[in-house]
Amino acid sequence: MSIILMMVPLTGMAADKYKIGVSVPSADHGWTAGLLWWAKKATDELAAKDSQLEFFVVAASSGTKQVGDVEDLMIKGINALVILPHNPATLQKVIEEAYAEGIYTVVVDRELANPAQDVFIAGDNPGLGRVGAEWLAKEMGDKGNIVVLEGMQIPINKQRVDAFNEVISKHSGINILDSQPADWSTQKALSVMENFLQKHKKIDAVWCQDDDMLKGVMQAIKESGRTDIKTVLGGAGSKDIIKMVIDGDPVVRATVTYSPSMIASGIALAVAGVKDETLGNLYHKPTRLILGAELVTKENAKDYYYPDSAY
């Protein structure tokens, strides 16, 4: 099912109207709900400032549906496309077609195997794994047992896990007991963590790289009654988990940023690109932007807390 949001100024259509399509996966978990919230926020604010802009925001529940959505946006005559691919392999061909037609293309978060865009913007996936591992190793005093819950088996998950494992391998006193995919799903994380708890009698820490999965992990730990797990680290910086950090939760003491607000920055890049402008006072037009993975602890958590957001 698609969600289409159209912002059309009351003053009527100008001849030089810029049509910008925004295509994202549907809100099947918290992070993607955050994408839609930030996309709506950005398009509302930009349309209010500039009557030349018309936005179409579309959310798709599958890669196949997203291909159809992009084709529909192209029929509407969009000048720019901002897309977070459901699955890069599935979207490769249609994005190539849009780019070849001269549509200013911004790919967000999930990189294509064969680049076909004017700009690529994403969070720092290796950084998310590296920063998380460095913090966990310090919190564990360089010793103990970790279990790992991975995301969907797509390239960005491998980047995170490989970076995490590389850091942990330098700490000989830390042992990774298990590493299994849970697809960034709270429910799947609950099931995987239940299995880990049955299988492993002593677990000191959990890395689940994602704050949606962290909720399932915490539920499984609570229901098990286990008290050996002293630290659980997710990632992406959801408002619920950041609030736990602010409130001083004894187990969830940090997260690492990978904000869905990157879609809003992608939309801003598309507006600048399609109008042949630069952002701010930049002297160059960026073609690749990687947003830093920031460690969020109680000391700085309020700087990352957006209580009105969907994530």
Using DSSP, state whether 136 is helix, strand or coil: helix
Backbone angles phi, psi at 207, to 5 degrees: -115, 120
Residue 42 near residue 267 (C-beta atoms within 8 A): yes
pLDDT at 74: 98
Residue 73 near residue 49 (C-beta atoms within 8 A): no
CA distance 12 to 275: 20
CA distance 150 to 307: 27
pLDDT at 158: 95
pLDDT at 206: 98
Residue that has been written with the tokens 């619920």 in this structure: 240
Residue 23 near residue 83 (C-beta atoms within 8 A): yes
> What are the residues whose beta carbons fall under 8 Å from the beta carbon of 70, sequence distance 6 or more?
21, 23, 81, 83, 91, 94, 95, 98
Using alpha carbons, list the distances in angstroms from residue 23 to 26, 163, 241, 265, 299.
Answer: 9, 29, 27, 14, 36
pLDDT at 27: 78
Residue 264, judged by CB atoms within 10 A of its CB (0-12, 13-18, 19+), counts as buried
> What are the residues whose beta carbons fall under 8 Å from the beta carbon of 135, sequence distance 6 or more?
233, 254, 256, 295
CB atoms near residue 6 (< 10 Å): 11
> What are the residues whose beta carbons fall under 8 Å from the beta carbon of 247, sequence distance 6 or more?
none
pLDDT at 221: 98
pLDDT at 224: 97
Tens of pLDDT along the chain (311 residues) come to 334 443 434 333 444 799 999 999 997 778 889 999 999 999 999 999 999 999 999 999 999 999 999 999 999 999 999 999 998 999 999 999 999 999 999 999 999 999 999 999 999 999 999 999 999 999 999 999 999 999 998 888 999 999 999 999 999 999 999 999 999 999 999 999 999 999 999 999 999 999 999 999 999 999 999 999 999 999 999 999 999 999 999 999 999 999 899 999 999 999 999 999 988 888 888 999 999 999 999 999 999 998 988 88
pLDDT at 215: 96
pLDDT at 3: 40
Q: Residue 202, CB half-sphere, CA atoms under 13 Å: how many?
A: 5
pLDDT at 2: 39
- Nearest Cα to 269, choosing from 88, 22, 5? 22
